[in-house]
């Protein structure tokens, strides 16, 4: 394990690094080593209010810059991140727990891409010139920044998930107030330093650390905030939606998407996809394979292959070691959920094919063995709730129809995946399941950052879309301009 020194961090408000209004702090502890690695300001509503006021003061001038001027700043941030790649990756491993070589560097590289993508997408953000009812008139639909956007982000991808909101919000002309999950606040400060060092105008970007029920709630409900972007759990997302009532809101929430393996599937490919679906980020992903629905005709072969692959290839260990492919869970809450869900499944008749318990011999109790469960009942908690841990719960199915029914029985509607040699069956699955994204013959954890991603309407997985330029639709609004040249004939003049 890599040792660390304790850093005393600050918040970024109105262009300055500052402590909280009360001077209170909380300790950041590494899930990998158990060490205290930093003290973080314990922000409160007053701190959030100061950040929002600073953002409001800066918003108009920032929106008044050209898209090309703002894009240059986004590229500058990308350059800074790229230059700090090693330090950012090591901070991610220490603060979040991701294995350095297997995952942390990849997240930092993707983080750089988010700023580059936002820079270029903002240059291509266009309006429309619709026809007018009245001869001679000209109509322009222009996209305007909303003003101040509040961003509330989770701990599982502490660089890329906030960036997929912050970068486009800034690029299209908004000022931003960001509050990150406390358990990865050290990563948040490291990213905020990259943004601050690009010398944006004071107040355009602000970071407030502290408890979500206080700081996040204030950001969501404060009348000085014009729009809210949230990524996180369904329960927290509902609270944010209520607090932000009447404002533009983009909510990317939980998932319980299945990975379906049909009787004609390429079993080897499905096993490979399941490794990514269930053990990437130690299963702590909203697109994780939360339940693996496998046709009985190939169930035994699939389980045998999967258990063997997990034993041979998923190496739980020191996340700083080059050979490690899976690190610890991030916090005790998610570890307890793994405890409860696996215990419940076994009590209901599931068989443990590999793993099944917390691992011994590590610096913290957050190291959970990569687990495969067979014979999981469809109503077990590990198959119905969002477990958010390194487990592949295999549920037997008898038909595509049953796979569709089980998928749609879930309150979630984020993502689903299906493996089949029958393209028509794959497309039928996509047509009938109520999820915002469907992968055919690919892992549930496969997605591309420029594509629209989010939950289906009526589900517990949120509203709106992140991904590339699509998120800018939520962070801008249309202004209608009707131009009447002096010689234009009079037409309809008002809305009746």
Is the residue at 130 inside a domain? Answer: yes
SS3 139: strand
Residues 328 and 195 in one domain: no
Is the residue at 203 inside a domain? Answer: yes
Residues 110 and 89 in one domain: yes
291-295 vs 391-397, strand pairing mode? parallel
**pLDDT confidence of residue 1:** 52
Residues 178 and 82 in one domain: yes
Does 295 score more than 80 pLDDT? Answer: yes
Is the residue at 287 inside a domain? Answer: yes
Is the residue at 456 inside a domain? Answer: no
Q: How far apart are CA 288 and CA 308, in angstroms?
A: 20
Looking at the chain, the whole-number percentage of residues with pLDDT higher than 70 is 97
Residues 85 and 44 in one domain: yes
> What is the average per-residue pLDDT within 89-101?
98
Does 488 score more than 90 pLDDT? Answer: no
Give the CATH number of the domain where residue 284 resides: 3.40.309.10
Is the residue at 487 inside a domain? Answer: no
Does 331 score more than 70 pLDDT? Answer: yes
Is the residue at 231 inside a domain? Answer: yes
Residues 290 and 429 in one domain: yes
Q: Where are the beta strands (DSSP E) in 171-266?
A: 175-179, 205-207, 227-231, 248-252, 258-261
Q: How far apart are CA 32 and CA 38, in angstroms?
A: 14
Q: How far apart are CA 74 and CA 52, in angstroms?
A: 21
pLDDT tens for residues 384-439? 999 999 999 999 999 999 999 999 999 999 999 999 999 999 999 999 999 999 99
Residues 119 and 193 in one domain: yes
Q: How far apart are CA 404 and CA 408, in angstroms?
A: 6
**pLDDT confidence of residue 225:** 98
> What is the average per-residue pLDDT within 108-112?
98
C-beta of residue 354 within 8 angstroms of C-beta of residue 312: no
Is the residue at 436 inside a domain? Answer: yes
Residues 124 and 19 in one domain: yes
Range(s) of the domain holding residue 269: 258-440
Looking at the chain, the whole-number percentage of residues with pLDDT higher than 90 is 96
- Write down how long the chain is: 496
Indicate the pLDDT class of residue 339, thresholds 50, 70 and 90.
very high
Residues 87 and 136 in one domain: yes
- What positions carry a catalytic annotation? 252, 286
SS3 378: coil
**pLDDT confidence of residue 486:** 77
Indicate the pLDDT class of residue 5, thresholds 50, 70 and 90.
confident
**pLDDT confidence of residue 489:** 53
Q: Phi, psi at residue 379, to the nearest 5°?
A: -100, 5
pLDDT tens for residues 9-59? 999 999 999 999 999 999 999 999 999 999 999 999 999 999 999 999 999
C-beta of residue 418 within 8 angstroms of C-beta of residue 438: yes
Residues 322 and 240 in one domain: no
Does 474 score more than 60 pLDDT? Answer: yes
Name the domain count of the chain: 2
> What is the average per-residue pLDDT within 172-187?
98
148-152 vs 7-8, strand pairing mode? unpaired
Does 4 score more than 70 pLDDT? Answer: no
Q: Phi, psi at residue 204, to the nearest 5°?
A: -65, -35
> What is the average per-residue pLDDT within 70-95?
98
pTM of this structure: 0.96
Place of tokens 């970024």: 12
Give the CATH number of the domain where residue 91 resides: 3.40.605.10
Share the mean pLDDT of the chain: 96
């Amino acid at each position: 394990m890599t040792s660390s020194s304790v850093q005393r961090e600050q918040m970024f408000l109105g262009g300055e690094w500052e402590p909280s209004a009360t001077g209170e702090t909380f300790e950041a502890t590494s899930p990998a080593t158990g060490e205290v690695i930093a003290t973080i300001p314990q922000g409160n509503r007053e701190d959030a209010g100061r950040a929002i006021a600073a953002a409001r003061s800066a918003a108009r001038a920032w929106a008044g810059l050209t898209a090309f001027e703002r894009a240059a700043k986004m590229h500058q941030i990308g350059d800074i991140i790229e230059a700090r790649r090693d330090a950012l990756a090591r901070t991610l491993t220490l603060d979040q727990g991701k294995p350095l070589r297997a995952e942390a560097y990849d997240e930092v590289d993707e983080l750089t891409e988010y700023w580059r993508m936002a820079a270029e997408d903002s240059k291509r953000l266009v309006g429309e010139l619709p026809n007018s009812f009245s001869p001679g008139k000209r109509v322009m639909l222009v996209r305007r920044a909303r003003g101040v956007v509040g961003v509330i982000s989770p701990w599982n991808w502490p660089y890329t998930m906030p960036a997929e909101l912050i970068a486009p919000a800034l690029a299209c002309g908004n000022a931003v107030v960001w509050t990150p999950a406390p358990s990865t606040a050290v990563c948040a400060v490291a990213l905020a330093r990259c943004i601050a060092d690009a010398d944006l105008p004071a107040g355009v970007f602000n970071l407030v650390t502290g408890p979500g029920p206080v700081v996040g709630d204030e950001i969501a409900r404060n009348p000085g905030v014009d729009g809210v972007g949230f990524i996180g759990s369904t329960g927290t997302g509902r609270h944010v939606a209520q607090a932000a009532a009447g404002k533009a809101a983009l909510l990317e929430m939980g998932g319980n998407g299945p990975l379906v393996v049909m009787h004609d599937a390429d079993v080897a490919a499905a096993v490979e996809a399941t490794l990514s679906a269930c053990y990437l980020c130690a299963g702590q992903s909203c697109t994780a394979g939360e339940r693996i629905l496998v046709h009985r005709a190939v169930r035994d072969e699939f389980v045998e292959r999967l258990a063997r692959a997990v034993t041979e290839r998923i190496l739980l260990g020191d996340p700083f070691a080059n050979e490690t492919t899976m690190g610890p869970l991030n916090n005790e809450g998610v570890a307890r959920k793994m405890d409860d869900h696996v215990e419940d499944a076994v009590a209901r008749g599931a068989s443990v094919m590999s793993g099944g318990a917390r691992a011994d011999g590590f610096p913290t109790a957050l190291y959970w063995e990569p687990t495969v469960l067979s014979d999981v009942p469809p109503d077990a908690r590990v198959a119905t709730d969002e477990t958010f841990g390194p487990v592949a719960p295999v549920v037997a199915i008898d038909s595509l129809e049953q796979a569709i029914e089980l998928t749609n029985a879930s309150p979630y509607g984020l993502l689903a995946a299906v493996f089949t040699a029958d393209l028509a069956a794959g497309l039928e699955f996509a047509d009938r399941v109520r999820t915002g994204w469907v992968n055919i013959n690919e892992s549930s954890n496969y997605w591309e950052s420029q594509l629209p991603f989010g939950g289906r309407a009526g589900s517990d997985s949120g509203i709106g879309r992140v991904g590339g330029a699509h998120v800018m639709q939520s962070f801008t609004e249309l202004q209608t301009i009707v131009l009447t040249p002096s010689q234009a004939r009079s037409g309809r003049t008002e809305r009746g």
